[in-house]
């Protein structure tokens, strides 16, 4: 690490959250909050301008691009900054898309300030920083891959939890109704359940989807 401070971009649609992050991060002598973004689109545009070492990215914005999509857009560029997801959501439905999109780290908003600072430095160095609960679930998936839901299965079940029919799920995910049924059959087998309601309940209890 050089003597130059790490330049940070805060991307969150809540001004109070951005102010809180700024207040915590600016107590660190080697951090400078160089910019803020209230939308994922603005975060992508600002990161593309350069001069940012780490983006602290929320996952859920009010409308438009998601944090995971913004992460993918940012990390796809040469010389991209590290992206540290900082969110309230720790389910597989949230973590997997973000990590697959190229996030360097994943932290929950209730993390202690010192953990946040450490995660920023870790992300700036190109290393992975994961909240303990997230890291534990990823390890569990690696130990027992047959019982874990794929990202697509997680997407399907999340929409089931929202009350969407198979036809509407297919429309949302650009799948045929038969493919949705196939995904559900595999989900039922993995979770050892026999209904949509039971699948949603079991997945929520396991932290695979949001309650």
The larger pLDDT score, comparing residue 208 to residue 86, is at 86
Q: What is the 3-state secondary structure (H, E, C) of 57-111?
A: ECCCCCCCCCHHHHHHHHHCCCCCCEEEEEECCCCHHHHHHHHHCCCCEEEECCC
In the chain, what percentage of residues exceed pLDDT 90? Answer: 65
What is the per-residue pLDDT across 3-14, written as a single tens digit (0 to 9) for each?
789 999 999 999
What is the per-residue pLDDT across 118-176, written as a single tens digit (0 to 9) for each?
999 999 999 999 888 788 777 776 665 556 788 889 999 999 999 999 999 999 999 99
pTM over 0.75: no
* Cα–Cα distance for residue pair 29/160, rounded to 1 Å: 47
Domains of the chain: 6-140 (3.40.50.2300), 145-205 (1.10.10.10)
The larger pLDDT score, comparing residue 6 to residue 211, is at 6
């Amino acid at each position: 690490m050089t003597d130059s401070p790490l330049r940070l971009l805060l991307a969150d649609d809540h001004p109070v959250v951005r102010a809180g992050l700024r207040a915590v991060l600016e107590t660190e002598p080697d951090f400078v909050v160089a910019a803020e973004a209230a939308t994922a689109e603005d975060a992508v545009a600002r990161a593309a301008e350069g001069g940012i070492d780490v983006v602290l990215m929320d996952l859920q914005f009010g409308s438009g691009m998601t944090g995971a999509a913004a992460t993918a857009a940012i990390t796809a560029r040469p010389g991209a900054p590290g992206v540290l997801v900082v969110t309230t959501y720790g389910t597989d439905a949230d973590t997997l898309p973000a990590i697959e999109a190229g996030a360097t780290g994943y932290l929950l908003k209730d993390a202690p300030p010192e953990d946040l600072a450490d995660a920023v430095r870790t992300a700036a160095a190109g290393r992975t920083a994961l909240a303990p609960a997230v890291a534990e679930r990823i390890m569990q998936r690696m130990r027992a891959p047959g019982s874990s839901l794929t990202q697509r299965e997680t997407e399907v079940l999340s929409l089931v939890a929202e009350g969407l029919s198979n036809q509407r799920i297919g429309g949302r995910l650009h799948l045929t109704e038969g493919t949705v049924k196939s995904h559900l059959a595999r989900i039922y087998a993995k979770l050892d359940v026999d209904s949509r309601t039971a699948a949603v309940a079991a997945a929520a209890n396991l932290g695979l989807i949001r309650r």
